[in-house]
Amino acid sequence: MAKVRFHLARGANFKTWQVIDNGVVRYYDPDAVCLRMFGCRLKNRRRVADKIFAGEDKTVCAWIDCERVEVGDSSSLETRDNQNILSFNPKVVPYWVRDGECAENLDGMVFSEIISRGRRLIVI
C-alpha cells in the first residue's frame, strides 16, 4: 500500500508530491512527472481538517492510499479540460471535493485510477 500527498512543509521538498511506499519516501516535482495511482481511497483526518478550517495552522491531514503508484513523464498522458478534478484545501472546506464543488464530501471515496497533472488530481 502506498500513500501519496502534496508536501507543503518548508524545505527542499516544498510543493512536491510525496510518495511513501513500503516505508520508502520519495519526492517528485509535479511539473516534471505524472503519478498514476491505482486502487485509490481518499483519506482525511477530519478533526484536524476542521481545526484548520476554523483557523489553525495547516498540518498533514489528507492523503490518498493506493494499491500501486507508477511514475511517468508529465507529457505521457493526454487529459481533457472537463476531467473529474479532485481537490483538498482545509482552509476552504475540510474534506475532499470535486474541483469547484463544495457540497459533496468525498472523504473515503474509492477510485480505480487517479493521475496527477501538475498539482491537479484527475479521476480517470
DSSP state of 47: H
What confidence score (pLDDT) does residue 9 get? 86
| E-strand stretches of 1-124 | 2-7, 16-21, 24-28, 33-44, 62-73, 84-89, 93-98, 110-117, 120-123
Q: Say how far apart CA 118 and CA 61 lie, in whole Å.
A: 21
Q: Mind listing the pLDDT tens digit for each residue in 39-75? A: 999 999 999 999 999 999 989 999 999 999 999 986 6
What confidence score (pLDDT) does residue 83 get? 66
Q: Say how far apart CA 46 and CA 83 lie, in whole Å.
A: 26
DSSP state of 2: E
- pTM of the shown model: 0.90
What confidence score (pLDDT) does residue 10 get? 87
Whether residue 82 is predicted with pLDDT greater than 60 in this model: the reply is no
